[in-house]
Amino acid sequence: MRTMFRPALIAGAFALAGALLTSASAMAQEKVLRIGMTAADIPRTHGQPDQGFEGNRFTGIPMYDALVHWDLSKADAASVIIPGLALSWQVDAADKNKWVFRLRPGVKFHDGSPFNAAAVVWNVQKVLDQNAPHFDQSQVGVTVSRMPNLASARAIDDLTVELTTKAPDSFLPINLTNLFMASPAHWQKLLSEVPASVADPKARAAAAWTAFASTPSGTGPFRGVRLVPRERFEMVPAGPRSTASFSCRCPSRTPAPPRSSPARSTGSRPRPRIRCPRSSSAASRSTPMPSLTSGPGSSPSARARRGSTAASATPPTSASTAPS
C-alpha cells in the first residue's frame, strides 16, 4: 500500500521460521536462513491462499493485507493482533453482534484503485454472499472455516465498515487475519475482458478469478507478475521502499536437474501421489524497514517456485532464486 504500517512483518514471518531451524553461528557464517516447509503446490494467488499458513506466508501476507495482522516482528515474544488496513475497531455498545472498524486512509491497491469500506464489503461478499456476482466458491473453504461467525458487512462511510456476526464473537479480530483484501476494481476490469461467448454469469466470474490469479492486485509490499501453474509464481516489490525480498522453491516431484545446470520447465505434469520432501533452502537478510510500500518500482523480482518458498537478499535489498 502507498502508506504502509507493518515494518518487519514480512521479514519477521521468515525470521521466526528460520530461527527455529538455523543456529546463530551458521547464520553468522553464511548469512542464510534455511526454512523447512511443506506445500503440495504453489499456494493460490487470488487473495485467499490454500496450503494452510504456508500459503498465507508466501502468497498471502506478501501481496495482501487484512484488516488486522499478527505482530511477527519479535522472535522472543508472543504475537498479538495489531492494526492492518483497519486503524481501530470496537464492538457496538448497543449490539454485541456488530463490530465497527475504522479504516486506514490513503491506501491504494496495486492497480491504483482506492481501498475503502466498499472494498471490505466486496471481499466479505466474495466468500459469504452466494448471490454476489463475484462470489467464488473455491475461496470459501479456506476462508469461512476460519471465521465461522461472520455474517455480513456494511459500509457506514468511505472509511468505516460494520461487520455483523451470527453471535457475539470476541475472536473476530483474530479470525479476520485470514481475510485478505483483493482489488474489486481490478477484478471488475478482468470480468469485462471475458469473451462475450461466455454467457453464464458464474462461468464469467470464474474466468475473471482465474485471470485475477495470474495478475493479482492487493495492497501488500509485493505484487504478482507471473504465474506458471504448478511451476512458479513471481513477485516484485510493489514500491521502491519495500525492503524485504524473497524467492521460493521446493524439491521437484520429478528428478531434479544437477546443481550445475539450470532448472527447466517440462510443461504440464500429472499429479503423482508423492509428498513434497520437507527440505528447502532460504536466504534472508533483514535491514531496517521504516515502511513497506506499494506503487511503481523497479526492484529485482522475488520468485515463488513450485510448492515452497525461500528468501534471499543481497545488500541492500535484492531478490533472486537460488537452486534448491
- Mean pLDDT value across residues 133-142: 88
pLDDT at 318 exceeding the cut of 90: no
DSSP state of 203: H
**DSSP string of 81-132, one letter each residue:** EEESSEEEEEE-SS-TTEEEEEEPTT-B-TTSPBP-HHHHHHHHHHHH-TTS
Query: What pLDDT band is residue 225 in, cutting at 50, 70 and 90?
Result: confident
- Per-residue model confidence (pLDDT) at position 11: 52
- Per-residue model confidence (pLDDT) at position 89: 97
To the nearest whole percent, how much of the chain has pLDDT over 70? Answer: 62
pLDDT at 293 exceeding the cut of 70: no
Query: What pLDDT band is residue 56 in, cutting at 50, 70 and 90?
Result: confident
Per-domain boundaries in the chain: 9-251+277-305
- Mean pLDDT value across residues 205-213: 94
Q: Give the CATH H-level superfamily of domain 9-251+277-305.
A: Dipeptide-binding Protein; Domain 1 (3.90.76.10)
- Mean pLDDT value across residues 310-318: 32
Give the residues across from 297 on adjacent strands.
none
Residue 306: CB atoms within 10 Å: 24
Higher pLDDT: 114 or 322? It is: 114
C-alpha dihedral, 161 to 167 to 168 to 171, nearest 10°? -80
